[in-house]
Amino acid sequence: MNATTSYQAIITSPIGPLGIVIEEGVLYRINFLSDETTLQAAEGKPAAQVAAQLQHYFKQADWHFSLPLQPMGTTFQQQVWQQLRQIPLGEVRTYGEIARALNSGPRAVGNACRNNPLPVVVPCHRVVAANGPGGFAGQTQGRNLSIKGWLLAHERATL
């Protein structure tokens, strides 16, 4: 998303500001924003519900999200994201394990994870490389990998 993205809320979190996009009352996207981003109070009940549930998760990792979701993606991406939602809290799966479950390849799974529009809620951070953490949101180092590390530590997951 670009600088003209219209957010229905921008909240603070331990991993930095998060921009929440709601379309037709359904969670459509969560964006990681720069630390300089100005916070924005939730506009409307759906955005307030998403903001509250994210805050509950950041306080208590075993919080179960119950939100209406509408992640937009290809059929394959949808299948990967469904697999991600089945990974239990505190556990990880490798790109290869998910690929085998879908008769696909690890790179295709990685690309679907990279394009996950609902990070945290659809836990792409629980997918790791066979030999380490792998990448997160298209990066293998820097801020995004730090976010992945924080989320896994918060959930007490071990690699």
In a domain, 110, yes or no: yes
Q: Please indicate whether residue 113 is annotated as part of the active site.
A: no
By residue count, the chain amounts to: 159
How does pLDDT run across 108-147, given as a tens digit for each residue?
999 999 999 999 999 999 999 999 898 888 888 889 899 9
Same domain, 98 and 140: yes
Domain count, the chain: 2
In a domain, 3, yes or no: no
Q: Are 158 and 109 in contact (CB under 8 A)?
A: no
Same domain, 55 and 110: no
Q: Are 38 and 19 in contact (CB under 8 A)?
A: no
Same domain, 23 and 94: no
Q: What is the pTM of this model?
A: 0.91
Per-residue confidence (pLDDT) for residue 102, from 0 to 100: 97
What Rg do the C-alpha atoms of the chain give, in angstroms? 15
Q: Is the model's pLDDT at 3 over the cut of 60?
A: no
In a domain, 70, yes or no: no
Same domain, 119 and 148: yes
How does pLDDT run across 41-56, given as a tens digit for each residue?
999 999 999 999 999 9
Backbone φ, ψ for residue 121 (5° rounding): -70, -45
CATH number of the domain enclosing 133:
1.10.10.10
Per-residue confidence (pLDDT) for residue 11, from 0 to 100: 98
Same domain, 147 and 81: yes
Same domain, 25 and 89: no
Q: How confident is residue 24, by pLDDT bands cut at 50, 70 and 90? A: very high
Same domain, 138 and 84: yes
Same domain, 92 and 136: yes
Same domain, 81 and 125: yes
Domain residue limits at 88: 75-154
**From 18, 99, 124, 127, the catalytic residue:** 124
% of the chain residues with pLDDT over 70: 97
Q: How confident is residue 2, by pLDDT bands cut at 50, 70 and 90? A: very low
